[in-house]
Amino acid sequence: MLSADKRRAIIDLVKREVVPAIGCTEPIAVSLCVARAAEMLGQLPEKINVRLSANILKNAMGVGIPGTGMIGLPIAIALGAIVGRSEYGLEVLKDATPEAVEQGRQYIDKRGISIDLKEGIEEKLYIEVEVLGGDGSALAIISGGHTNFVFLQHNGQILLDARVQQGSGDSSDDVELKLCTVFDFAMESPIEEIEFIMEARRLNKSAAESAFVADYGHSLGRTLRSERELSIMGDSIFSRIISYTAAACDARMGGAMVPVMSNSGSGNQGITATLPVVVYGEECGASHEQMVRALMLSHLTVIYIKQSLGRLSALCGCVVAAAGSSCGITYLMGGGFDEVAMAVKNMIANLTGMICDGAKPSCALKLASGVSTAVLSAMMAMEHRCVSKLEGIIDEDVDRSIRNLTTIGRDGMNETDSLILNIMTDKC
């Protein structure tokens, strides 16, 4: 049984990592950094210089910005300066209006925005914004986490410098987890302490349903509910899991002005950790308590794996998030810890190596692949079918298997990450 102090620490961790966000978190984090710099400046900047790590640049190039009908960083930067409020965190642009968007277009036309790759840094999540206006200047830096400010400077005066003290800024590192700890927490915690996770169900299901009646991204979710596709796949729990998850991604990547519940700085990870569990649970008549525990198991598994993988990598986050949802589904199928561990191993054996080539509408396809595998992995686990230690990167110990996955994604695929960015920028 986990101690009350340990439970409180994990609850605080989940509340930090599972938060609402509007739009793709990378360009939104840039908007947040711009907003904070502009607030320090005290006026609309005349010049905005933005310097980004390669992973931030990669994930911000091709995604829709909520409420704008536009793609990419320039409008995110302009709106961050015009209407952004840093106190809103990852909902920094929720006050954007059509009038503000038009003002943003005019601001872009003035060519006062400069976007460059920040050279010579190891941190994969790094955003540096310098704003100039009148006789004033301000500088803000986010590093390690999408809302983690590590440096603030106004007119040469340093207001915050936490770069050395906080290092990577990854606030999830202060709670040590193993998969058995994650499972015990989700199963044993008093229900009233963890039912806050149900807000993820409300937000992410609402986002999916908004995409069933609109045209966002590639409309994969809505396509999967059409007559022809239903005649192929059937109107089953499996097809609904895929369509709901893809639809929420359609809305988010297509720039819908709807919040989703994110996980570890990613809306798509939050969607993938939530909707397969929700759809399966609803279809199978899960009780309120079962749904809460399944969602907590899913989301905390994602947080645990991301602790060693890092927030951004060349490995697609849907691999991690779908592993979480597979755990939640396995529990709802009646599985215990042994079956959950099997499901994780089956996931790692299948999807390791799926690349992240930026945030974009086609991410819905990757989420669909991930949650399909999540269901298959859970079904195999419930039959006690599990990839063995003799196969590939799987170890007898599930936590070592997770470390093998994250080592590949964090270290082994660094060259892949650079090559992906080169290919993407060469197209511009």
Q: Which of 67-81, 252-266, 331-345 has the highest mean pLDDT?
A: 331-345
Q: Do the strands 149-154 and 157-161 form a parallel or antiparallel pair, or are they unpaired?
A: antiparallel
**Distance separating alpha carbons of residues 425 and 164, to the nearest angstrom:** 32
Cα angle vertex 353, ends 350, 354, to 5°? 90
Reference 316, options 278, 339, 347; nearest CA is: 347
Q: Is residue 221 classed as helix, strand or coil in its secondary structure?
A: helix
**Distance separating alpha carbons of residues 175 and 179, to the nearest angstrom:** 13
**Distance separating alpha carbons of residues 226 and 230, to the nearest angstrom:** 6
* Tens digits of residue pLDDT in 370-386: 999 999 999 999 999 99
Strand partners, 21: 260
Is the CB of residue 220 less than 8 Å from the CB of residue 226?
no
> Binning pLDDT at 50, 70 and 90, where does residue 428 land?
low
Q: Which of 54-63, 246-255, 418-427 has the highest mean pLDDT?
A: 246-255
pLDDT of residue 67: 85
Q: What are phi and psi of 338, to 5 degrees?
A: -60, -40
Strand partners, 261: 20
**Distance separating alpha carbons of residues 407 and 189, to the nearest angstrom:** 31
Is the CB of residue 123 less than 8 Å from the CB of residue 116?
no
Q: How many CA atoms lie within 13 A of 53 on its CB side?
A: 21
pLDDT of residue 312: 86
Strand partners, 315: 355
Q: What are phi and psi of 129, to 5 degrees?
A: -125, 125
* Tens digits of residue pLDDT in 105-159: 999 999 999 999 998 888 889 999 999 999 999 999 999 999 999 999 999 999 9
Which tokens sit at 338?
């042994």
Query: What is the rounded average pLDDT of the residues 269-289?
Result: 98
Query: What is the rounded average pLDDT of the residues 239-267?
Result: 93
Q: Is residue 423 classed as helix, strand or coil in its secondary structure?
A: helix
**Distance separating alpha carbons of residues 84 and 78, to the nearest angstrom:** 9
**Ramachandran assignment for 335, one of left (phi > 0), alpha (psi -120 to 50 degrees), beta (any other):** beta
* Tens digits of residue pLDDT in 308-352: 998 888 899 888 999 999 999 999 999 999 999 999 999 999 988
pLDDT of residue 171: 45
**Distance separating alpha carbons of residues 28 and 15, to the nearest angstrom:** 19
* Tens digits of residue pLDDT in 289-308: 999 999 999 999 999 999 99
Reference 38, options 107, 97, 106; nearest CA is: 107
> Above 50 in pLDDT, residue 166?
no
pTM: 0.90
> Above 80 in pLDDT, residue 165?
no
* Tens digits of residue pLDDT in 171-213: 445 689 999 999 999 999 999 999 999 999 999 999 999 999 9
> Binning pLDDT at 50, 70 and 90, where does residue 168 land?
very low
Q: Which residue has the tokens 């987890």?
A: 177
**Distance separating alpha carbons of residues 246 and 222, to the nearest angstrom:** 8
C-alpha 269: how far from chain center: 4
Distances (CA, A) of 74 to 48, 102, 114, 371: 10, 13, 9, 33
